[in-house]
Amino acid sequence: MDQSPFGTETAALPHVFVASNVDLVSEGLHLQLSRCDQVEIIGRGRLNDQSTRKIVEGRANVVVLDIASAGASDFAAALRGVCPCSKLVGIAIGSTSLDVADWAQLGVAGFVDDNGSIEDVVAAIRSVARGEFSSTPRTTAALVTALIDRVEQCRPMEVTRRLTPRETQILSDLERGATNKEIARRLGISAATVKNHVHNVLEKLEVTRRQEAGAMARAGRF
């Protein structure tokens, strides 16, 4: 009896649907995966409502999604709404304008790069079916970097919400390089009061120099 190059394990096979708007891609993946005894392929189709119905009716627990196809993000979002139990494996990650964090937010738990092999696709399918995350070290690094960047972008807005209205005024003056005396004259308060406000602003922004606070404001991080 012929043995599949992917192994002989047959227990708890993932039920897989291939979704792509490129027939050559979906046909090729469907053919290759149908020869693999580690997955059960239940169908293929374009990114439309008909494929969504097939996924639901066929109880596919893994969908291999060509994320380079037009409308892939909308399809992923719609599928997540009607069939949240289906795990997504995204292929052709390098051919999309969205970053890895965007796809992860849409429910993609496995990523296969443009130069990935069918063995990589199978490995990703089996990993996400077990509830795991699957990607190359490079893609994982890109995901972590994107998440850190998003946290950094959100953090200043959170800091700004902690600033009092007066401290926000002070920050605006720091942005234009005003001295304490100039700020005091403009606001009609004492220089000592301005000094206290500046101290509070720097502390909340976690910087040590007023120039740093002004630079952050000029960079649009508030």
Q: Is residue 154 part of a domain?
A: no
If asked whether residues 113 and 205 sit together in one domain, one would say no
CB of 127 within 8 A of CB of 102?
Answer: no
Measured between alpha carbons, how far is 165 from 217 in angstroms, rounded to an integer?
15
Q: Is residue 113 part of a domain?
A: yes
Q: Is residue 10 part of a domain?
A: no
If asked whether residues 124 and 61 sit together in one domain, one would say yes
Measured between alpha carbons, how far is 218 from 215 in angstroms, rounded to an integer?
5
Q: Can you give the residue range of the structural domain that contains 45? A: 15-144
Q: Is residue 150 part of a domain?
A: no
Measured between alpha carbons, how far is 66 from 71 in angstroms, rounded to an integer?
10
If asked whether residues 134 and 37 sit together in one domain, one would say yes
pLDDT of residue 7: 44
If asked whether residues 92 and 176 sit together in one domain, one would say no
173: phi then psi, degrees, rounded to nearest 5? -70, -35
If asked whether residues 135 and 207 sit together in one domain, one would say no
Residue 44 maps to which CATH number? 3.40.50.2300
- In the chain, which residues have pLDDT < 70? 1-11, 95-98, 150-161, 219-222
The number of folded domains in the chain is 2
Helices (H) and strands (E) in the chain, counts: 10, 5
pLDDT of residue 214: 82
If asked whether residues 78 and 180 sit together in one domain, one would say no
Q: Is residue 4 part of a domain?
A: no
If asked whether residues 131 and 55 sit together in one domain, one would say yes
Helix (H) or strand (E) holding 217: helix 210-218
Measured between alpha carbons, how far is 201 from 112 in angstroms, rounded to an integer?
45
If asked whether residues 75 and 180 sit together in one domain, one would say no
Q: Which of 144, 174, 204 is the last residue of a domain?
A: 144
If asked whether residues 30 and 134 sit together in one domain, one would say yes
Q: Which of 117, 144, 171 is the last residue of a domain?
A: 144
Residue 184 maps to which CATH number? 1.10.10.10
